[in-house]
Amino acid sequence: MPQAADHGDKLSGKVALITGAANGIGRAIAERFAHEGASVVIADLDNQTSQSVVTHIRENGGRADAITCDVSQAHDAERAVEHAVTSFGCLTTVVGSAAVFSPVVPIDELSEADWQRAIDVNLTGCFLISKYAIPHLKTSRGTITLIASQMAQVANAGQSAYCATKGALVQLAKGMALDYADAGIRVNTLSPGGIATDRLAKRFGDLERAQRIWGPKHPLGRLGEPDEIARGAVFLASDDSTFMTGADLLIDGGYTAW
């Protein structure tokens, strides 16, 4: 969590709905957005942890609320959008960060259920939250940021389904950017490299092992921290990026530069 002493105002007056914000990168984005003056609504499956993030933000002087939401369910996505508008009076900003952790196996070993869940959460979840948010974002001339991955550009063995969903998000964002440019809605993706979250701890057994094995894959020689991604998300949601739409902001420690 950013220090209270250096509170900013880059997102003052914004109302942000952030999916997958109970943990990891989404959580860092919620905390950084609140720190920069936004009111934030956390939409996540993990209600208990979401509530603890809300408490933490409020204790630090921010405005936050949470709603339990499975982003793959249209009704949940629609309710999350309505909850943000009812709680804070409008909606200016959407960040789609929720993603499921899929088994790391080649395609012939991946069950159809695991394939479908990856598509439903990682891709359809971003479609649904965007679909229901867009009428409100037309009013506010707001922004959508979809969290993709460096795996949208390069692949990794055993992660074909994940890579496919992330590549698709980049194209989804470009298409929406074109559809809603006239309405003043800016749509971008933000692609992190390896970031020290539970996702990588799950994949490598623990974060220390993730750092040792995955860190050196990045020219900067380490994993990123969630707040290093959150700062990029602030940029995309703020008036610092008013000439940016249909773009993919890579914050990957140089992973794709080798």
Ligand X SMILES: NC(=O)c1ccc[n+]([C@@H]2O[C@H](COP(=O)([O-])OP(=O)(O)OC[C@H]3O[C@@H](n4cnc5c(N)ncnc54)[C@H](O)[C@@H]3O)[C@@H](O)[C@H]2O)c1
Residue 102 in contact with ligand X, rule: CB under 6 A: no
Min CB(9)–ligand X separation in Å: 26
Q: Which stretch binds ligand X (CB under 6 A): 1-9, 32-40, 53-61, 94-102?
A: 94-102
| Tokens 């980049």, located at residue | 170
Among 62, 142, 194, 253, binds ligand X (CB under 6 A): 194
Annotated active-site residue 162? The verdict is: yes
Size of the site for ligand X (CB under 6 A): 29
Q: How far is the CB of 257 from ligand X (least distance, A)?
A: 16
User: Is residue 19 a contact residue for ligand X (CB under 6 A)?
Assistant: yes
Smallest separation (angstroms) from ligand X to the CB of 54: 13
Among 17, 18, 24, 77, binds ligand X (CB under 6 A): 24
Q: How far is the CB of 5 from ligand X (least distance, A)?
A: 26
Q: Are 195 and 25 in contact (CB under 8 A)?
A: yes
| Catalytic annotation, pick one of 132, 162, 180, 255 | 162
- Supply the minimum distance, in Å, between the C-beta of residue 203 and ligand X: 8
211 alpha-carbon distance from chain centroid: 22
HEC sequence for 235-253: HHHCHHHCCCCCCEEEECC
> Does residue 62 touch ligand X according to CB under 6 A?
no
Binding mask of the shown chain, residues 104 to 133, with x at each position contacting ligand X by CB under 6 A: -----------------x------------
45 binds ligand X (CB under 6 A): yes
Q: Which is nearer to ligand X, 184 or 254 (CB)?
A: 254
Nearer to ligand X among residue 198 and residue 239 (C-beta)? 198
17 is a contact residue toward ligand X (CB under 6 A): no
- Residue ranges that bind ligand X, judged by CB under 6 A: 19-20, 22-26, 44-46, 69-72, 97-101, 121, 147, 149, 192, 194-195, 197-200
